[in-house]
Amino acid sequence: MIPQTYKEVIDLGDGREISIETGKLAKQAHGSVVVQSGKCMLLCTVVSNYKQADVDFLPLTVDYREKFAAAGRYPGGFFKREARPSDGEVLTMRLVDRVLRPLFPKDYHSETQVMIQLMSHDDDVMPDAMAGLAASAAIQLSDFPFECAISEARVGRVNGEFVINPSRAQLAESDIDMMIGASADSVMMVEGEMDEISEEEMTEAIKFAHEAIKVQCAAQERLAAAVGKKEVREYEPEREDEDLAKKIHDMAYDKVYAVAKGGSSKQERGAAFGEIKEEILATFSEEELEDIGDLVSKYYRKTEKEAVRDLTLNEGLRLDGRQTTDIRPIWCEIDYLPSVHGSSVFTRGETQALATVTLGTSREANQIDMPSHEGEETFYLHYNFPPFCTGEARPIRGTSRREVGHGNLAQRALKGMVPDDCPYTVRIVSEVLESNGSSSMATVCAGTMAMMDAGVQMKKPVSGIAMGLISDADSGKYAVLSDILGDEDHLGDMDFKVTGTADGITACQMDIKVKGLSYEILVNALQQARDGRLHILEKLTDTIEAPREDVKDYAPKMVTTRIANDYIGALIGPGGKVIQELQKETNTTIVINEDPVTEEGIVEILGTGQEGIDAVLAKIDSITFKPEVGSVYEVKVIKMLDFGAVVEYLEAPGNEVLLHVSELAWERTENVSDVVNMGDVFDVKYFGIDKRTRKEKVSRKAILPKPEGYVERAPRERNDRNDRGRDNRGRDNRNRGDRKPRENRD
């Protein structure tokens, strides 16, 4: 018997709906829902252990996977099984995690797992836009200690109108692609890319999405009420000692405040804070530290955070001595690496990124193979964050989710400025060599300069800046911090990164840690970010004002041409013989793709030498050469025959045609060599296909003057071939009975 189910429906306002259902699937999970829009279905389950883990953080895992069966497809690869998550799945996991994590109690340390699975796909529905809704709805049905319902929504703008959760087709026409995560009261997360929009337009898009999220949160609450809201589980809270907290505060606050005000470097400041903590620990016995050592460390960290925040709110000063709007010193360099196609170094304070650009053909495009999306990227960026960049030694176990997320943000920031007619596949790799605040924005700046150094004709240069916020709800004070340090990222109330050109925003990533952040503060922060972004942009253009006019001498040049579909096979040759020999002879790479619309062949020629590229183009011209009837062409004799000469079109080497002996001259020609010889160059007229021989006909004599007194020979009489039937040959009139049998042979 099918169990009882509960369902809530959310109206998106344009005929589309999202339903949330529970009660049918995965009932042993602590909470489970099926979220559906159109034919797209997500199954989300949540489980959290009842025993607290022996850690001082929330061990939360958000997992998002797309099943290939959902789209009626098989996984690629040998094993035909879903394996490690794709970058697209990792990015969705991060979007959900960043909204959920702050809403669990700080002292809740139970192992918690959120699993979201795409079980059925719809081409008109983008499933990642519903992942946050599914996760929150499942948690609302559990007994987890969780603050309030949240949801996420994508917002686009098509023809000037905002759209909630647009389809991929609508998104292709949109100038905004933003994902917003929020509760009914507060916006908590923003991430997306834009086509150079203003700060005010960005704020309006966030407001529009927030209104839709409020409706989705209300639906979750109704569903939980219908099912029966569970009692929040009890868990063992962290131990607290108010007297100890006050003692640590009194011992540390003034000393920390003084160090913070000193404006020292990261290492000096870290060493000074470490000494203060050691002095405090020294006041306790070993027995006491065994019992309360973890509390001492916790209360010291809390005091340190309070002192640093107070310094900024009270005096407008920051840990490194800057004012709130100051940008750290910047120095830049291009063409740093001698053998790469493009490179740059961007250093801002204690953050440094080295970016490289590699230019290639469409064969090097990044293939995207997900159940919800197939395609390729001809511009992509990879971001590496090795442990030495923060002075640490730790194992490297593949690419982290953080590296995927930061690289994606930088890629979205830059990709809109790559021209549509760029013939190359462009890959940027950012190596973070030092990090103390926003290496992703350093990557954007380094990537801009590296592309310009490589000769990629960017529409406009792009810069990025990381901003912070420190606020005090009781006093109403707040301070927006430009170009934040790593420490300011951890102790602040908002971390947001904004990238853009001089004319508008191209990408953003925002995590808001305080409730009820006003849109007024948000707009002020965005305006301050714009000022900082333009300051950094000026430093970039001082280093390299515009893209190089051409790629470097040792970098590959790319030429693209089109040929009729009929000639693709001739260019490739049997078994690829022609194209392989051509690549070897010219030291080039040749890639042929078929235009899906016109069915023409798109030929990409990549080579470091112009001579090689020109040779390939000449070969293509030769293969695709088609003489016009009535035109005169210069030819060269390449072979002598008894009945004529084989000549080659000089403008299309390799294209040969027979010049018959009767077309050499007006006079009767007995020997071909009486008129022409090997290597002779002369003009001929092209007559097209001869109706009698059904072969191409060219003539030398047609462009020569007729000799004086020349008389055209009368055409030779020909008997009708039909008169030469078997009945007229005589032999078939014999009587078969007159035949004599063949003699037997031994």
DSSP letters along 535-584, please?
Answer: HHHHHHHHH-SS--SS--TTSPEEEEEEE-GGGHHHHH-GGGHHHHHHHH
Say if residue 187's pLDDT is above 60.
Answer: yes
Same domain, 573 and 676: no
Task: Report if residue 176 sits inside a domain.
Answer: yes
Chain position carrying tokens 């031994």: 746
Closest CA to 136 of 95, 172, 175: 95
Same domain, 118 and 173: yes
Residues 28-33 have a mean pLDDT of 96
Say if residue 603's pLDDT is above 60.
Answer: yes
Task: Report if residue 283 sits inside a domain.
Answer: yes
Final residue of a domain: which of 194, 227, 260? 227
Answer whether 332's CB lies under 8 Å from 444's CB.
no
Say if residue 731's pLDDT is above 60.
Answer: no
Task: Report if residue 487 sits inside a domain.
Answer: yes
CB contact burial 101-138 (16+ within 10 A = b; e otherwise):
ebbbeeebbbbbbbbbbbbbbbeebbbbbbbbbbbbbb
Q: If you ran DSSP here, which 8-state letter would residue 340 be given?
A: S
pLDDT given at position 691: 85
pLDDT given at position 718: 54
Structural domain range at position 421:
330-391+401-543
Say if residue 72's pLDDT is above 70.
Answer: yes
pLDDT given at position 437: 85
Task: Report if residue 717 sits inside a domain.
Answer: no
The CA-atom distances, in angstroms, between 462 and each of 196, 442, 509, 545 are: 10, 11, 16, 12
Grouping H, G, I as helix, E, B as strand and the rest as coil, residue 232 is: coil
* Number of domains into which the chain is organized: 5
pLDDT given at position 132: 97
Same domain, 184 and 310: no
603 versus 476: which is more confidently predicted?
Answer: 603
Say if residue 724's pLDDT is above 50.
Answer: no
pLDDT classification of 513: cutoffs 50, 70, 90:
confident
Say if residue 422's pLDDT is above 50.
Answer: yes
Residues 350-354 have a mean pLDDT of 96
Task: Report if residue 713 sits inside a domain.
Answer: no
Residues 265-291 have a mean pLDDT of 91
Say if residue 427's pLDDT is above 70.
Answer: yes
Same domain, 620 and 668: no
pLDDT classification of 725: cutoffs 50, 70, 90:
very low
Binding-site residues for Mg(2+), please?
Answer: 489, 495
Residue type at position 184: A
Mean pLDDT of the chain: 90
Question: For the domain that residue 604 is a member of, what is the CATH number?
Answer: 3.30.1370.10
pLDDT given at position 715: 57
Say if residue 103's pLDDT is above 80.
Answer: yes
Task: Report if residue 746 sits inside a domain.
Answer: no
pLDDT classification of 744: cutoffs 50, 70, 90:
very low
pLDDT given at position 397: 85
Instruction: Supply the Cα-derived Rg of the chain in whole angstroms.
Output: 38
Range with the poorest average pLDDT among 34-38, 118-122, 729-733: 729-733
- Each residue's pLDDT tens digit, 670-683: 898 889 999 999 99
pLDDT classification of 85: cutoffs 50, 70, 90:
very high
Question: For the domain that residue 638 is a member of, what is the CATH number?
Answer: 2.40.50.140
Same domain, 148 and 65: yes
Rounded Cα distance between 378 and 683, Å, is: 47
pLDDT classification of 647: cutoffs 50, 70, 90:
very high
pLDDT classification of 447: cutoffs 50, 70, 90:
very high
Final residue of a domain: which of 252, 287, 315? 315
CA 625 to chain centre: 39
Q: Which residues 6+ apart lie within 8 Å of 369 measured at CB?
A: 76, 86
pLDDT given at position 742: 46
Question: For the domain that residue 487 is a member of, what is the CATH number?
Answer: 3.30.230.70
Task: Report if residue 441 sits inside a domain.
Answer: yes
Same domain, 660 and 599: no
Same domain, 246 and 279: yes
Same domain, 216 and 264: no
Same domain, 444 and 586: no
Say if residue 726's pLDDT is above 80.
Answer: no
- Each residue's pLDDT tens digit, 310-322: 999 999 999 989 9
Same domain, 91 and 162: yes
Binding-site residues, please?
Answer: 489, 495
pLDDT classification of 267: cutoffs 50, 70, 90:
confident
Final residue of a domain: which of 227, 255, 290? 227
228 versus 489: which is more confidently predicted?
Answer: 228
Say if residue 745's pLDDT is above 80.
Answer: no
Same domain, 423 and 484: yes
pLDDT given at position 714: 60
Q: How many CB atoms lie within 10 A of CB 420?
A: 5
Residue type at position 541: T
Q: What is the number of residues in the chain?
A: 746
Say if residue 720's pLDDT is above 60.
Answer: no
- Show the tokens assigned to 62: 């958000």
Task: Report if residue 237 sits inside a domain.
Answer: no
Same domain, 167 and 83: yes
pLDDT given at position 706: 84
Residues 370-397 have a mean pLDDT of 92
CA 139 to chain centre: 32
pLDDT given at position 728: 46
Say if residue 609's pLDDT is above 90.
Answer: no
Say if residue 736's pLDDT is above 90.
Answer: no
Residues 166-189 have a mean pLDDT of 94
Q: Work out the burial of residue 508: count CB atoms within 10 Å of its CB; fewer than 13 is exposed, 13-18 middle, 19 or more buried.
A: buried
Residues 316-332 have a mean pLDDT of 93
- What is the pTM for the complete model shown? 0.85
pLDDT given at position 78: 81
pLDDT given at position 730: 46
Say if residue 719's pLDDT is above 60.
Answer: no
E strand map for 608-655: 632-641, 644-649
